[in-house]
Amino acid sequence: MPERCFHLVADGAYATLAGAGLPRTQITSRMRRDAALFESPPPRTGRRERPRTRGDRLPTPTQLSDTLPQRAWNKVAVDVRGATRDRLVHTRDVLWYRVNKTDLVRLVIVRDPDDYFFTTDLHATGDQVASRYAARWAIEVCFRDVKQDLGGQTPQSWKRRGPERAAALSLWLHATIWCWYLTTHPTGATWTPRPWYPTKATPSFLDALAALRRVLWSQRITTMSRPGAEESKITDALLDTLAYAA
């Protein structure tokens, strides 16, 4: 897709990708609290000497957060997993020399709770960067669902490309089940209300999987026999229980 641009969001373990020169790709990640930061290198003086590759040393993100005056913070609305939260942020372009020796990155400090993010997108605002990183959590939830509910963690094949194909199939099934559920149940509310969770308003993947199981199993039972009204109630209650326990 040569005409498309991409934005990669990853945790701090992949921060070095900011210096990998990925084509048409912006990076957003978490910055180390003790990162060595610098100003951009000063312009060349015209003298016959080696030009400087970095400017003056800056405080670490933690030190910078502790010394910033109140007027340096901006109050923004951050999207945290579908909920809007008010946060104080400070944005500054710095040179993280160890990660990228030539290009500046945008440091975003979020207060209460304190956190430190950066992005190679120098046009991004503080609330955009914080919201992008918070949205990364959906990836972790997807991996958990695939492992726990679709058997992606324990494939039955261990030779050649078997495990790789099993993981790909699990991810494909995860996406297919969600597409089916959102198409057939656009308003959700397919789960049984529980007394310990009265405020639940959105479905989980297990809710979508249970809804699919009920449909498939009900079709099989109906094909084999046609139970009466009383038996149908018992069958529905049994299917509802087994759909979550399977």
Among 68-82, 147-161, 169-183, 213-227, which stretch is predicted with the lowest mean pLDDT?
A: 213-227
pLDDT tens readout for residues 137-195:
888 899 999 988 888 777 777 777 877 888 888 999 999 999 999 999 988 888 888 88
Same domain, 168 and 215: no
The verdict on 166 and 233 lying in the same domain is no
Check whether residue 96 and residue 131 sit in a common domain: yes
Whether the predicted pLDDT of 237 surpasses 70: no
pLDDT tier at 200, thresholds 50, 70, 90: confident
Which residue range forms the structural domain that includes residue 235?
A: 185-246
Q: Is residue 18 part of a domain?
A: yes
Same domain, 100 and 127: yes
The rounded distance, in Å, linking the Cα atoms of 21 and 226 is 63
Q: Is residue 124 in a domain? A: yes
Helix (H) or strand (E) holding 136: none
Residue 47 lies in a domain: no
User: Is 86 inside any structural domain?
Assistant: yes
Helices marked H in the chain — which ranges? 61-67, 126-135, 137-149, 162-184, 205-224, 229-245
* 156 & 198 share domain: no
Residues whose CB is less than 8 angstroms from the CB of residue 24 and which lie 6 or more positions away in sequence, other chains included = 2, 4, 5, 6
pTM of the predicted structure, to 2 decimals: 0.74
**Domain match, 23 and 80 both:** yes
